[in-house]
């Protein structure tokens, strides 16, 4: 198992280390192989970093808080911090690569689907309650308006 970090390097492993704060060589939190595997499982470095934070939270959840005299070691605080970090990283993850899509957004595609008799047409649609003759009357030159013009 190895640990490596080089500031400014654009490898996903180093980006994940930066995001989770695992940048101190004398206090490594995750091995290179663990990060590399999580990077291969996730869609981007933010998602991989969130998975690493979850892993570290689980690691510290197994350890209990200890107190000897005035000395206290609180692993529960580390666990809570990594859980909060995972949530924060997940909120950033979704903003990068996921673009919502829906069929029929393109006007020409939508009109083509409306005219295609083999496609099931919706029961409700915008303008379904408008009567064609009402539109014709409103647009005629001698149509009366309820609002008086000064």
Checking if the pLDDT of 20 tops 70, the result is: yes
pLDDT for position 99:
52
Task: Report which of 89, 118, 98, 103 is spatially closest to residue 20, judged by C-alpha positions.
Answer: 89
DSSP secondary structure string, 37-98?
HHHHHSSSHHHHHHHHHHHHHHHHHTSPPEEETTEEE-HHHHHHHHHHHHHHHHHHHTTTS-
- Tell whether 50 is covered by a domain: yes
- Tell whether 145 is covered by a domain: no
- Tell whether 107 is covered by a domain: no
Tokens representing residue 5 in the block = 């970090």
C-alpha distance from residue 26 to each of 5, 22, 43, 45, 105 (Å): 12, 10, 30, 24, 54
- Tell whether 1 is covered by a domain: no
pTM, to two decimals: 0.58
pLDDT for position 131:
73
- Tell whether 45 is covered by a domain: yes
The domain total for the chain is: 1
pLDDT for position 147:
53
Mean pLDDT of 92-103: 57
| pLDDT tens readout for residues 104-148 | 467 777 777 778 888 777 777 777 777 766 556 556 665 555 555
- Tell whether 73 is covered by a domain: yes
Determine the Cα–Cα distance for residues 78 and 59; give it in Å rounded to an integer. Answer: 10
Tell me if 43 sits within 8 A of 97, measured CB to CB: yes
- Tell whether 143 is covered by a domain: no
The residue ranking higher by pLDDT, 93 or 64, is 64
Binned at pLDDT 50, 70 and 90, residue 19 comes out as: very high
Binned at pLDDT 50, 70 and 90, residue 17 comes out as: very high
31 is in which domain, residue-wise? 12-93
Range with the poorest average pLDDT among 5-9, 18-22, 61-65, 117-121 = 117-121
| pLDDT tens readout for residues 52-85 | 999 999 998 888 888 889 988 888 888 889 999 9
Determine the Cα–Cα distance for residues 108 and 114; give it in Å rounded to an integer. Answer: 10
| Residue 99 burial (CB count, 10 A) | 5
**Cβ-proximal residues to 55 (8 Å cutoff; 6+ apart), any chain:** 30, 34, 38
- Tell whether 54 is covered by a domain: yes
């Amino acid at each position: 198992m190895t640990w490596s970090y080089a500031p400014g390097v654009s490898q996903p492993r180093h980006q994940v280390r930066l995001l989770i704060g695992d940048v101190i060589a004398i206090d490594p939190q995750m091995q290179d192989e663990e990060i590399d595997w999580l990077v291969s499982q996730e869609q981007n470095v933010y998602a991989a970093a969130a998975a690493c934070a979850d892993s570290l939270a689980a690691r510290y959840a197994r350890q209990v808080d200890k107190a000897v005299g005035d000395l206290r070691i609180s692993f529960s605080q580390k666990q809570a911090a990594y859980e909060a970090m995972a949530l924060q990283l997940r909120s950033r993850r979704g903003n990068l690569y996921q673009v919502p899509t829906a069929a029929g957004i393109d006007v020409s595609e939508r009109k083509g689907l409306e005219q295609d008799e083999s496609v099931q047409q919706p029961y409700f649609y915008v303008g379904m309650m408008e009567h064609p003759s009402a539109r014709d009357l409103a647009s005629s030159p001698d149509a009366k308006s309820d609002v008086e013009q000064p």
